[in-house]
Structure 1
Amino acid sequence: MILLILLDARASQPSEWALFFGHFHPLVVHLPIGFLLVAALLEVGRRLGKLGVEESTITSILFWSAVSATIACVFGYLLSLGGGYEEETLNDHMWQGIGVAVFTWIAWAVKSDWLGNRIPAGSALYLPAFVVALVLLGLAGHLGGSLTHGSDYLTQYTPEPFRTLAGIPPRKTAIAFKPITDVNQAVVYEQIIDPILQSRCVQCHNADKSKGDLRYDTAEMLKKGGEDGPVFIAGKGLESAMVKRCLLPEEDDDHMPPKGKPQLTEGQVALITWWIDQGASFDKKVADLTVNEAVRPVLASLGGGGPIEKGGIAVAGPAPESPVLTMAVPAADQKLIDEVKKTGLLVLPVSKEKNQLEVSAVNARTFSDAQATVLPKISQQIVWLKLSDTKVSDATLAQVAKLKNLQKLHLEQTSVTDAGLKNLKGLAHLEYLNLYGTAITDAGLAELAGIKSLKTVYLWQTKVTETGLMTLKKALPTLEIVGGVTEKTFTELARATPPEGKGDEQKKK
């Protein structure tokens, strides 16, 4: 079967079977490492007279070293078909791995009772073959780490004076990004987008390791794209691969960053989407672009230095025009806060002076409807509530309805339905609602139409249709809809919404 997989893998597009077995390479490769090192220790102990080990024991260990090294080579080849590795380093690693297998087989053969006596000068070949196998093992291991983690993975923290003595170049310092003191004057790509890419994407997309033949480490490489073409389409953020992959479920094989790696925050995804929507410029400043509702609070949180001015819109903080964020409420009873925390929720201050709180389930993914009954106990103080990716459903929204000062609500990746959204109608201060990855349909949008305070709603990967979106936009003309809208719909929505100040004139006509 392995032979068939290898033959099939020679095709331009490797089969799923090839990639499946290839992903076992990191697991299998540790077997020959362990076997060879154990064999080496036993051999040294035997020759020094410190261990009473039968030669047949070492021979047996060498046999399994050779077998596992051979399997590791096959699986390593299959893994390499997935691409994304620096070619020269990959080739060196491959031949060194093959060398480990070959010389281990030689060492086993000349030492075995079955073949040893049949090979001329076999005893003289044993030790050199064993030593060469161990040396190649170390070299292959180093390059394997380089392919996975970067060329300086093993040496990046070498201290002085050993660094100088070994001829290792000075340590690479972290890229120094310009601090943002005035968001309005920040260069969007250089000071906002590139730092996100460096912290979340460059680990797998760099000069040494370029998954999908894609690199994010420089602007030039980002513009070039990868083996599947461009990663962004200027003016079309939600249609760009670098955004679409971030929005896939984390369990999806195409989700980026991969599961287990540090993920982009919602704000970071919003910033990248906004940058692409605005033309993906590499030299424009924030002041040169149009700031929408989705990125206003995110941009404002990046630095001070005055409001963001564009088209008469000023942003000095997270939705500063919101009446509820300027309203002081009584301080919550600490015993009640502790009771909320016992469910695993984080309780953080939004404004200490005004006693407003943010409650987040970022560390409580199992938070459920039964636990949601604690939320109304600090109903006056909760203005931001994050229940994304938890076990909550419509029953929790009945409790959320009691949070009369709620301004921001995250429900993405939960089991809420259209029926549950009926509970939100009485939230007079609700401005932000995230429904990404839920089963919401047009019927749910009809429920939202009655929330006049609503300013931003996220609808990525929901079941809404263009008809439902058009209806919602007509009911709430100033609503910012993020996701769930095609380019055609955006145009139709724009036509359906009269320019500011023109509505009354059109009615008179």
Structure 2
Amino acid sequence: MPKNQKIFSILENSLIALHGLIFILVIGQDYIQLPSFLEVFGRMHPLVLHFPIVMLFLAALLFWFPDAWGINSKVALKWLLLSALFFTGITVLAGLFLSVEDGYIKEDFENHQWTGLLVFWLGTSWYWFWVKEKLSIAKGLSLVVLALVLATGHLGASLTHGEDFLFSPLKSVEATPPVSFEEALAYDHVVKPILEQKCFSCHKAGKVKGGLRMDEIQYILKGGEMGPAIDMEDLENSQILVHILIPLEEEFHMPPKGKPQLTETELELIQSWILDSAHFDKKLTAYNPESEFFALAKEKFVSQESKSYTFKAANAKTIAELNNDYRKVAAIYPTSPGLRVTFFGKNQFDPKTIDDLKRIKEQIVELSFQNMPLKDDDLQKLTIFPNLEVLNLNFTGIEGNTLSELKKLKNLKHLSLSGNPLSKAAFESLKEFGQLKDLFVWTNKNSDAISMLKAALPNTKIEGGFQDDGTLYQLNPPQIESDKSIFTDKIEISLKHPIGSVKIFYTLDNTLPDSTNHLVYTEPIRLDKNVTLRARAFADGWLGSIEKQAVFFRSKIQPDKYELTFPPNPQYKGSGALTLFDLEKGDEDFASGKWLGFQDKPFEIQMDFNSPQSIKNIAFSTLAAEGSYIFPPSKVEVWIKTQNVDWRLIDSQIPDQPTKNRNRLLQMYESNINQSEVTAIKAKLTPVNPLPKWHPGAGAKGWVFIDEILIN
């Protein structure tokens, strides 16, 4: 038998075997349990499907135009058609294996499956009728097969990329008119477009990875195999948040590695939306203008609207000259001539500096004086800005007796007056501000005046905030202010709260401050040692605040030499061991370059001193972010070496481990040494392995993140 004929015979027999196997699989598809190696083969379906598509079209060209190629078309066609059908069978077989995996709903992919099967079956019939020289039937079948290839591709693309992906560019659909910022919904117009681009391809009808669908609100609320996608009772542990915050290289990070990732802005938008109670039907204008989600959404939305102004942009040099440590001048969005001005530094603020802005008075559309000490007479200075649209006067201390001056601002649409002791005259003046779209006058006084104001301004959305109906509300936590968190000798720390009448309780021993365990803040706190400061605000008629926590480190002794036993993970390598002694404290962003991350190997370091040292203690500054697989170390060990004694273990700690995901925490582990003539110290922090059963990544390796070592 000629060599070609032998190969053709093998391919023909392979086709018969594939038909038989595929027929059995189609019948018993719902009862199959695949071994793992066949799951791998099934996932090759998208890889191999391109071979038969190209070959079938080439075979059709050769079949319909045999004389145009200048070759032995019959042998070439036999090669092409048999090879195409063989790979078609392999593709169909892989597709059947893939469909058995969890995450696919049969009703949603069965049309794709059946058109693929018809391509294989009718393609084989095409070959058989051609071999039997029944050309008229073969020609008809070739056209049907090619049409089915297109239909199968269209249905498969719709499964992977969304409905009607293949042919949508050919359809003439009227463009959806853009919605205005005032009418935009937080979910529909800000969050959902992100999910459509980055999440729907794996979590929609027909492809429900992890049992989770995200293409409809009811499925998002229902959640998947790992729990609620959005947990309304524990927003921080919503599975969407957990998985988008997991490091990229981890198995459970979403979107998966290799898929388009969330941008930093997209991640912040989703995170702030969920933490703000994940409203699905709330307008953007209903959010507190000071909230993180509102600020992010507005910036994104306004940049899309690209609002145009008739005035020219200010000179870049002028803007640069007006920027300083206590005032920021910036465009409201890139390329816009409209400017936003924000003042900072309450103690350094001088109302006279408002006059500096005359140089850009035409371009200023947003002004924020929040927390700046203004007087009623200063409001007259604000009337020089003809295009001002947004004015923030929250907590400025004004009584509002001269608010009528602001009526000169014909373009003013959003006015914030929360936290001020507004007088009766102020409310009378506000009744004449009919041009306002939003007015914020949060106060626990003048509730009758606010009601009358709402009646006088029916077209203005008025937020009156807190009304004392006997319900107790929780205070915001106090603010902890200091120049730095690492010091060499002493440091002074201030505690503040926007409501001046509250009492601030604090502790310095890492215990929770409450009514029986606290110090009362009266003046700046002076520290000369490592301390975890925890503070809460209390006031009559309010619930005590959640705690605010900060860690302060004293670092008086620096090693002369230091070396890591194992290098940190390349993605979180900072500046190597130098990161641990640069006196620059990392924040909650573990990807900032100020942290060293260890997972496969423990953090282990040796520190040497040229001359013997008297050492009291050593402390390690770490991060805990369980949602991102970053846990407290499973063990902290410290050894010392002295002039007279070789290495000996001086301290071994087993830190407490969390029982659920928490907010990101800066933590400190301190070991007492109290030893003279120390020539070297060795420390080891071991990552948790495996992660506990309650965690979404149970069984995986945890991380240890460290940014500073402090020796005193």
What band does the TM-score fall into relative to the shorter chain?
0.5 to 0.7
Deviations 1:468-489 (A, max 9, x none): x9xx99989xxxxxxx9999xx
Aligned AA (2:174):
P
Measured in 1, the distance between the counterparts of 2:98 and 2:40 equals 8
How many angstroms apart in 1 are the aligned matches of 2:237 and 2:606?
28
Which residues of 2 match residues 190-229 of structure 1 at below 5 A? 194=192, 196-207=194-205, 209-212=207-210, 214-226=212-224
Q: What's the counterpart of residue 32 of structure 1?
A: 52
Correspondence for 1:491? none
> Are 1:61 and 2:80 counterparts?
yes
Q: Does 1:170 align with 2:362?
A: no
> Which residue matches 2:442?
none
Q: Distance in 1 between matches of 2:623 and 2:190?
A: 23
- Indicate which of 254, 257, 262 corresponds to 1:256: 254
In structure 2, what is the equivalent of residue 481 of structure 1? Answer: none
Whether 1:99 and 2:111 are equivalent positions in the alignment is no
TM-score, with length taken from structure 2: 0.41
- Unaligned residue ranges in structure 1 (runs of 5+): 181-185, 326-387, 424-429, 447-461, 477-483, 488-509
One-letter code aligned to 2:259 = K
1:412–1:9 Cα change, 3 Å: farther
Deviations 1:30-68 (A, max 9, x none): 121121111122223315x55333312212211111111
Instruction: Report the residue type matching 1:441 in the other structure.
Output: P
User: Which of 101, 120, 126 is the aligned partner of 1:82?
Assistant: 101
Check 1:227–1:52 CA distance in 2 against 1; reply closer, same or farther (3 A cut): same
- What one-letter code is carried by the residue in structure 1 that aligns with 2:256? P
CA distance in 2, matches of 1:475, 1:403: 15
Change (3 A) 1:141 1:110: same
Separation in structure 2 between the aligned mates of residue 36 and residue 63 of structure 1, nearest angstrom: 10
Residue 154 of structure 2 contacts residue 167 of structure 2 at CA under 8 Å; is this kept in 1? no
Where 1:259 maps in the other structure, the secondary structure is: coil
Structure-1-length-normalised TM-score: 0.55
The equivalent residue for 2:61 is 41
Distance 1:81 1:8 in 2: 11
**Contact 1:84 1:209 (8 Å CA) reproduced:** yes
CA deviation string 1:86-105 (max 9, x = no partner):
75552221111111111221
| 8 Å contact from structure 2 (residues 624, 632) kept in 1 | no
Matched, 1:139 2:159: no
Q: Which residue of 2 aligns with 1:382?
A: none
2:578 to 398, 401, 407: 398
Tell me, in whole angstroms, the C-alpha distance in 2 between the residues paired with 1:156 and 1:140: 15
Label 1:78 to 1:475 Cα distance change in 2 as closer, same or farther (>3 A): closer
Report the CA distance shift for 1:51/1:434 in structure 2 as closer, same or farther (over 3 A): same
CA distance in 2, matches of 1:179, 1:314: 31
The 3-state SS of whatever aligns with 1:396 is strand
Check 1:15–1:76 CA distance in 2 against 1; reply closer, same or farther (3 A cut): same
Q: Distance in 1 between the 2:121 and 2:245 partners?
A: 46
Aligned to 1:383: none
Deviations 1:450-499 (A, max 9, x none): xxxxxxxxxxxx986259x9xx99989xxxxxxx9999xxxxxxxxxxxx
Quick one: structure 1 residues 248 and 40, their matched pair in 2 at CA, closer, same or farther if it must change by over 3 Å?
Answer: same
**Equivalent pair of 2:204/2:213 in contact (CA under 8 Å):** yes
Which residue does 2:650 correspond to in 1? Answer: none
- From the two aligned structures, give the one with the greater helix fraction: 1
Percent sequence identity over aligned pairs:
26
> Structure 1 pair 466/50, CA: closer, same or farther in 2 (3 Å)?
closer
Among candidates 244, 247, 253, match of residue 246 of structure 1: 244
Q: Does 1:157 align with 2:177?
A: no
CA distance in 2, matches of 1:260, 1:228: 22
Q: Distance in 1 between matches of 2:655 and 2:262?
A: 24
CA distance in 2, matches of 1:169, 1:286: 28
Q: Is the 8 A contact 2:52 2:84 kept in 1?
A: yes
Which residue in the other structure is 1:232 paired with?
A: 230
**Distance in 2 of aligned mates of 1:130 and 1:405:** 70
* Residue 193 to residue 401, structure 1, CA distance change in 2 (3 Å): farther
Q: State the Cα distance separating 1:313 from its structure 2 match.
A: 4.7
Contact 2:624 2:666 in 1 (8 A): no
* Distance across 1 between alignment mates of 2:93 and 2:245: 35
Equivalent pair of 1:232/1:276 in contact (CA under 8 Å) = yes
How far did residue 151 of structure 1 move? 2.0
Q: Between Structure 1 and Structure 2, which shows a larger proportion of strand residues?
A: 2
Other-structure match for 1:111: 130
**Is the alpha carbon distance of 1:286 and 1:30 closer, same or farther for their aligned partners in structure 2, counting shifts above 3 Å?**
closer
Counterpart residue identity of residue 231, structure 1: A
Counterpart CA distance in 2 for 1:463 and 1:296 is 35
RMSD of the alignment, in Å?
Answer: 5.6
* Alignment CA distance shift 1:405-1:321 (3 Å): same
Q: Which SS does the other structure have where 1:231 is aligned? A: coil
Q: Which has the larger radius of gyration?
A: 2
1:95 partner SS: helix
Partner Cα separation in structure 1 for residue 572 and residue 250 of structure 2: 22
**How far, CA to CA, are the matches of 1:252 and 1:19 in structure 2?**
21
Summarize deviations over 1:287-319 as a string: whole Å, max 9, x none.
9999xxxx987876665886799966599xxx9
Residues 345-397 of structure 1, C-alpha deviations (whole Å, 9 max, x = no match): xxxxxxxxxxxxxxxxxxxxxxxxxxxxxxxxxxxxxxxxxxx9635559724
Count of matched residue positions in the alignment of Structure 1 and Structure 2? 371
Q: Report if the CA contact (8 A) 2:622-2:667 is conserved.
A: no
**Does 84-93 or 31-40 show the bigger shift?**
84-93
Contact 1:22 1:76 in 2 (8 A): yes
2: CA distance, partners of 1:421 / 1:237: 42
Distance (Å, rounded) in 2 between the aligned partners of 1:251 and 1:299: 31
Gaps of 5+ in 2: 1-16, 300-365, 371-393, 395-417, 419-472, 486-567, 609-620, 639-653, 670-690, 695-712
